[in-house]
Amino acid sequence: MSFSEVFDPQTISDLVARSACMSTADVRAAVERKARTLDDAAALLSPAADSLLEELANLSHRSTVERFGKTMALYAPLYLSNECVCTCTYCGFSMGLPIKRRTLRIDEVVREARTLAARGIRNILLVSAEHPKHVNAPYVALCVRESKRIAPYVALEIAAADEETYREYVDAGCDGVVLYQETYDRAAYAGYHVGGPKKKYAWRLDAPERAARAGVQHLGIGALLGLADWRFEALSLVQHARWLERHCWRSQINVSLPRINRAEGGFVPAHPVNDRDFVHFLVFLRLALPSAGITLSTRETATMRDNLAPLGVTMMSAGSSSAPGGYGEPGQAGEQFELEDHRTPADVACGLRAMGYEPVFKDWEVMQARSQRDVLGSAAAS
How near is the Cβ of 86 to ligand SF4 at its closest, in Å?
Answer: 4
Q: Which residue's CB is nearer to ligand SF4, number 337 or number 357?
A: 337
Q: Which residue's CB is nearer to ligand SF4, number 198 or number 259?
A: 198
Subset of residues 233 to 272 that bind ligand SF4, contact rule: CB under 6 A: none
Q: Which residue's CB is nearer to ligand SF4, number 80 or number 129?
A: 129
Candidate residues 129, 160, 177, 313; the one interacting with ligand SF4 per rule CB under 6 A: 129
Q: Which residue's CB is nearer to ligand SF4, number 101 or number 198?
A: 198
Q: Which residue's CB is nearer to ligand SF4, number 80 or number 216?
A: 80
Q: How many CB atoms lie within 10 A of CB 180?
A: 17
Which residue, among 168, 173, 129, 165, has the nearest Cα to 147 in the 3D structure? 173
Q: Which residue's CB is nearer to ligand SF4, number 176 or number 258?
A: 258
CB 250 within 8 A of CB 13: no
How near is the Cβ of 30 to ligand SF4 at its closest, in Å?
Answer: 35
> Which are the contacts of 358, defined by CB distance < 8 A and separation ≥ 6?
69, 70, 71, 72, 352
Q: Which residue's CB is nearer to ligand SF4, number 112 or number 157?
A: 157
**Length of the chain in terms of residues written:** 382
Q: How far apart are CA 244 and CA 189, in angstroms?
A: 21
Q: Which residue's CB is nearer to ligand SF4, number 68 or number 79?
A: 79
Q: Which residue's CB is nearer to ligand SF4, number 124 or number 135?
A: 135
Subset of residues 73 to 92 that bind ligand SF4, contact rule: CB under 6 A: 84, 86, 88, 91
How near is the Cβ of 193 to ligand SF4 at its closest, in Å?
Answer: 7
- Compute how many residues bind ligand SF4; rule: CB under 6 A: 9
Which residue, among 211, 157, 223, 239, has the nearest Cα to 184 in the 3D structure? 223
How near is the Cβ of 324 to ligand SF4 at its closest, in Å?
Answer: 11
- Interface map 180-219 toward ligand SF4 (x if CB under 6 A): ------------------x---------------------
How near is the Cβ of 88 to ligand SF4 at its closest, in Å?
Answer: 3
How near is the Cβ of 142 to ligand SF4 at its closest, in Å?
Answer: 20
- Interface map 93-112 toward ligand SF4 (x if CB under 6 A): xx------------------
Candidate residues 130, 206, 264, 335; the one interacting with ligand SF4 per rule CB under 6 A: 130
Q: Which residue's CB is nearer to ligand SF4, number 129 or number 212?
A: 129
How near is the Cβ of 153 to ligand SF4 at its closest, in Å?
Answer: 23
How near is the Cβ of 325 to ligand SF4 at its closest, in Å?
Answer: 16
SS3 of the chain: CCHHHHCCHHHHHHHHHHHCCCCHHHHHHHHHCCCCCHHHHHHHCCHHHHCCHHHHHHHHHHHHHHHHCCEEEEEEEEEEECCCCCEECCCCCCCCCCCCCCECCHHHHHHHHHHHHHCCCCEEEEEECCCCCCCCHHHHHHHHHHHHCCCCEEEEECCCCCHHHHHHHHHHCCCEEECCCECCCHHHHHHHEEECHHHCHHHHHCHHHHHHHCCCCEEEEEECECCCCHHHHHHHHHHHHHHHHHHCCCCEEEEECCECCCCCCCCCCCCCCCHHHHHHHHHHHHHHCCCCEEEECCCCCHHHHHHHHHHCCCEEECCCCCCCCCCCCCCCCCCCCCCCCCCCHHHHHHHHHHCCCEEECCHHHHHHHHHHHHHHHHHHHC
How near is the Cβ of 91 to ligand SF4 at its closest, in Å?
Answer: 3
How near is the Cβ of 301 to ligand SF4 at its closest, in Å?
Answer: 23
Q: Does 125 bind ligand SF4 (CB under 6 A)?
A: no
Site of interaction with ligand SF4 (CB under 6 A): 84, 86, 88, 91, 93-94, 129-130, 198
